[in-house]
Structures are given as structure tokens and as C-alpha cells.
Amino acid sequence: MFYSILFYLFATVLVGAALGVIFARNPVHAIMFLVLTFFQSAMLWLMVEAEFLAIVLVLVYVGAVMVLFLFVIMMLDVEIESVKRGLTHYAPFAIVISLIMAVELVQLIWVRGSADAMDNAFTPNPADYDNTKALGAVLYTEHAYAFEIAAVILLLAIVAAITLTMRKRPGLKVQDISAQVSVRAKDRIRLVKMKSESES
């Protein structure tokens, strides 16, 4: 009972926030709605005892990805009018994608909703079950190869992004910090001892 109330509460807020992402006029508001959406899905994952995934969702998406999104969007001066004009331009593309997603969703619900799948109701894990450990045990043994490939792809993306944005302008003046730190007084000033020139 308590469990169902919580589920419907989180699910309602999740759907509401997801709609908010689409309908919010201000892009910053849309991002905050997206943050709320991620939080609510993390809550739903917590409810099926997937605490590792839930916390990592908050850590990676809310803590890092959305911050960078916000960072970029805050700098933009978005004109609502141009966004509206863009809507009709992208509409066919958007409709195709949303149709594919809808079909996939319906298929999933249809498969899950069939009689034999309905019997596998959620059963709580034993108290000493450690989600993180279980995931790690599978990830580093059975799926080690796929895991490594994912890591290499991410590394490639980082290297590519850095290479694309690295520009060396000719004539750019850059400070060499170690040279600055290691500078000594005698490199900059020369103290000379000399006799006074005037005879007094």
C-alpha cells in the first residue's frame, strides 16, 4: 500500500516533469525540469532496490551532464520566435523519431504485460545483498570486453573533443608558470657597487 502510494507519487511527478521539459518556454526552466525528471527516475530505481544505478544516475546526469548543459544554455540568448520557426522545420523528423519510440514502448509493455511475464512480480532481495558488488562482479568478468570497448570509445571521444577545440593562434602570449615561479631576484635586477661620482 505504502509502496504503491510512493510509486504513483514519483511516477506522476516524473511524467509531469517530463512534460515540463517539452512545454517550458525558458530553456533554463526546461533543464531544471529535466533534473527533476532524472531525480524521479532515480527514486523509481531506488524502489526496485537498484541503488547503485539510482545514485550513479544522479551523480553522472544531474551532477555533471546537466550542470554543463546549464552552463552552456545560460550563456545563450535564446529568442522564442526563432525557436518557434524551427519547430515546423524539424517537425517531420521529430514525428518519425517519436513514432519509433512509441512503437518500441508499446511493444515492451505488450511483452511485459503478457501472462507469463506478469507472474514475475518484484521480489525484494535479501538484506545482505549488495547491488554495487553484484554489478561489479558481472561487469569485470562476463562483460569485461564490452566494458573495455565502452571505455576506449569514451577516451576516443575525449581526445577528439580536445583536439577539435585546441587552437594555436600565432603570436599568442602564454605564461610559463614554472618559469615564473622559479625566477630569482638576480635574473631581474642587477645591483652594482660604484663610487659616488660627485666630489663633496
Given the rule CB under 8 A, which residues bind other proteins? 2, 26, 28, 32, 35, 51-52, 55-56, 58-59, 62-64, 67-68, 70-71, 74-75, 130-132, 177
**Which residue's CB is nearer to other proteins, number 173 or number 190?**
173
**Shortest distance, position 42 Cβ to other proteins, whole Å:** 9
Distance CA 117, CA 106 (A): 15
Q: Pick between residue 18 and residue 73 the one whose CB is nearest to other proteins.
A: 73
CB of 8 within 8 A of CB of 28? Answer: no
Task: Pick between residue 18 and residue 28 the one whose CB is nearest to other proteins.
Answer: 28
Picking from 86, 69, 71, the residue whose alpha carbon sits closest to that of residue 34 is: 69
Q: How far is the CB of 54 from other proteins (least distance, A)?
A: 9
**Smallest separation, CB 38 to other proteins (Å):** 11
CB of 159 to other proteins, least distance (A): 14
The Cα 67–Cα 70 span in angstroms is: 5
**Contact indicator for 44, 17 with CB cutoff of 8 Å:** no
CA angle 151, 154, 155 (to 5 degrees): 85
| Angstrom distances, CA of residue 183 to CA of 14, 178, 180, 186, 188 | 58, 9, 5, 9, 8
* Cβ 67 to other proteins shortest distance, Å: 6
Rounded Cα gap, residues 16 and 28, in angstroms: 17
Q: Decide whether 11 or 55 has the Cβ nearer to other proteins.
A: 55
Of residues 169 and 193, the one with the C-beta less far from other proteins: 169
Q: Which is nearer to other proteins, 130 or 142 (CB)?
A: 130
CA-closest candidate to residue 8, choices 34, 43, 58: 43
CB of 165 to other proteins, least distance (A): 14
Q: Which residue type sits at 118?
A: M
